[in-house]
Amino acid sequence: MTTETRGSRGFWPMLAALWLVWAARASVGFRLDLALDPAHRLAYSSGIKVALWVLPAAAFAWWVRRESPVRALRLGRPAPRALPLALALTVVYLAGVAFDVARKHAVTMVDLGAALAQRGAAQFAGGLPSAFAEEALFRGLVLTELTDRWGFWPANAVSGAIFVSMHWPHRIWRDGLGPAVFADAAPLLAIALALGFVTWRTGSIWPAVVFHAANNTLSGVL
């Protein structure tokens, strides 16, 4: 077995390789996204995330950890007893996001609610595959591996920081290297920590997938 308390051999090189491949995809590789019909971009982007993140994570779990990907990526059913706390945290967090989105766009909560009623369901459904891919890697394999090494709390902080860093290559390519690239690092880390906590308490990424997709829907509906 390679899943001792110190974690699996090869994890850090694998993660570094994923980061570099993603950096290339999210920068120069993003030109292909721009060349696609806008109606197909979301499906393409989600498929790329599954191919570059979920499949390597599952392969690492199977061949290196010698463990079922369902277990290593936390794809099982959530613990029922933990769901009320997970739901409460999700609702409170998303309420804060909703107020912040309304403030930034200078609209009322009624206006935000109308936008959600009109477009929210479609955006939420369209965002689920991307949310799944991100959760399977970061709150699935990465959080599992780091928890094996250090316990949950340090692991959640480090996996959250890695999650934040994955957003930087595209923004640097798009906007150049400057303070604006890192302006939303704190909110990204906050959502990562919340998603990690929900995953840890429920033992499954599925509540976090819903949480993540709902957060993205709220953030992008206006």
Is the four-CA dihedral 107, 113, 114, 120 of positive or negative sign? Answer: positive
Q: What pLDDT score was predicted for residue 5?
A: 52
Q: What is this structure's pTM?
A: 0.94
What DSSP state is assigned to residue 36? S
> Distance between CA atoms of 8 and 132, rounded to whole angstroms?
23
What SS3 state is found at 7? strand
pLDDT in tens, 100-116: 999 999 999 999 999 99
Gyration radius (Cα) of the chain, Å: 18
Place of tokens 């399977």: 136
Sketch the domain layout of the chain as residue ranges: 11-220
Q: What pLDDT score was predicted for residue 179?
A: 86
Residues of the chain below pLDDT 70: 1-5
CB atoms within 10 A of CB 69: 20
Q: What pLDDT score was predicted for residue 1?
A: 40
Is the four-CA dihedral 222, 45, 27, 194 of positive or negative sign? Answer: positive
Q: What pLDDT score was predicted for residue 3?
A: 43
Catalogue the E-assigned strands of the chain. Answer: none
Residue 7 phi, psi (nearest 5): 90, -175
CB atoms within 10 A of CB 170: 18
What DSSP state is assigned to residue 4? B
Q: Is 215 exposed, middle or buried (0-12, 13-18, 19+ CB in 10 A)?
A: buried
Contact yes or no for 112/213 (Cβ under 8 A): no
Q: Which two tokens stand for residue 175?
A: 């906007």
> Distance between CA atoms of 218 and 213, rounded to whole angstroms?
9
Q: What pLDDT score was predicted for residue 70?
A: 98
